[in-house]
Amino acid sequence: MTRLTLALDVMGGDFGPRITIPALSLALEKNPMLSVIAFGNEVESLPYIHKLPLEQQQRIQFKHTAKSIDAHLPFMQALRQSKGSSIRLTIESVAEGKAQGCVSGGNTGLLMGLAKQLIELLPNIDRPALTSLIPTLNGKSTVMLDLGANVEADSKLLMQFAEMGNIFAQIMLEQVYPRIALLNIGTEENKGTIHLRESHQQLKLLQHLNYQGFIEGDKLLNHLTDVIVCDGFSGNIALKTLEGAAKNLLSFFKKTSEESHLCRQAKRYLLQLIFYRYYRKLQQINPDRHNGATLLGLSSVVVKSHGGANINAFYYAIQYAISQIENEIPAKISQGLNGKY
């Protein structure tokens, strides 16, 4: 195992260092060859870092910045105020070659804007796509892109997403000939936008892609495909709908301590017994375990964590970045795309 350096925005997200640093500790424990350049406010961050084992502290290079960006600021305002902020310094460290990848839970639009501005796109890629692994009911995962980087995507972009998703699934899911589908409002050939219909016809002609056709939103968790391609608007809505439904159902099954009435407790326990098998499947699609979306199409690994991530969820985002760096995802996508466009 070779040494790996990751840049981390410890101020990013709703909770900052009290979540990101304990999550970092889990990652350092799991990955003995990991070193981290951490950017944040020393007054808020160092008390948490000093609680870590000395061996872990020695693998953290902390860079103080008093400036962080409110995750809810409009994009242009956030971009203007970004100089010297923890999120910008994190991305700059990757652009300057000091780190092989980065993780932040900060402003999504700002992270994507800065990454596209500071880190080179791969050849033959017009725009990066926010990409994640979504769980399915049989315990396996599906690659889904775009999840919000591009609100609109024409057929050329959708084709590029399909190509990148195909390579990503081969490496991250160890699939030999990944199945690919386009997210649409129906499976009929005449359904969807003109860009979807054009992409559908073009994908059918490509022998190196295992294109399956259209897939509807109610089948996303059924593992009928290995790669789901869509524009960022549709993908973001679909993903957040799945996450919200899963969290609400898990909460329903777990919420027993707040029920004071004995009868209600008994009814809830009975439901857990009856639907135990389905409850176990819901645990497999717990969004915390699949936190982290990468900007696929950049020459380095950039991972966005949910702003509201807890310690375990942010740890999974760090692991997601590490896995992509170790698998040399940007380089392999570049090699795979060479000559296709």
CATH fold of the domain at 126-294: Isopropylmalate Dehydrogenase (3.40.718)
Please tell me the CATH code under which domain 1-123+297-327 is placed: 3.40.718.10
Whole-structure pTM value = 0.88
Strands (E) across the chain are located at 4-9, 34-40, 60-64, 101-104, 129-135, 141-145, 179-183, 210-215, 227-229, 293-296, 301-304
Q: Would you give per-residue pLDDT tens digits along the chain (341 residues)?
A: 578 999 999 998 889 999 999 999 999 999 999 999 999 999 999 999 999 999 999 999 999 998 878 777 788 888 888 999 999 999 999 999 999 999 999 988 899 999 999 999 999 999 999 999 988 888 889 999 999 999 999 999 999 999 999 999 999 999 999 999 999 999 999 999 999 999 999 999 999 999 999 999 999 989 999 999 999 999 999 988 887 777 776 666 565 444 456 556 665 665 555 555 555 555 555 667 788 999 999 999 999 998 889 999 999 999 999 999 999 999 999 999 885 64
Please name which of 83, 81, 65 lies closest in space to residue 9, comparing C-alpha atoms.
Answer: 65
CATH 3.40.718.10 intervals, the chain = 1-123+297-327, 126-294
Distance CA 321, CA 191 (A): 36
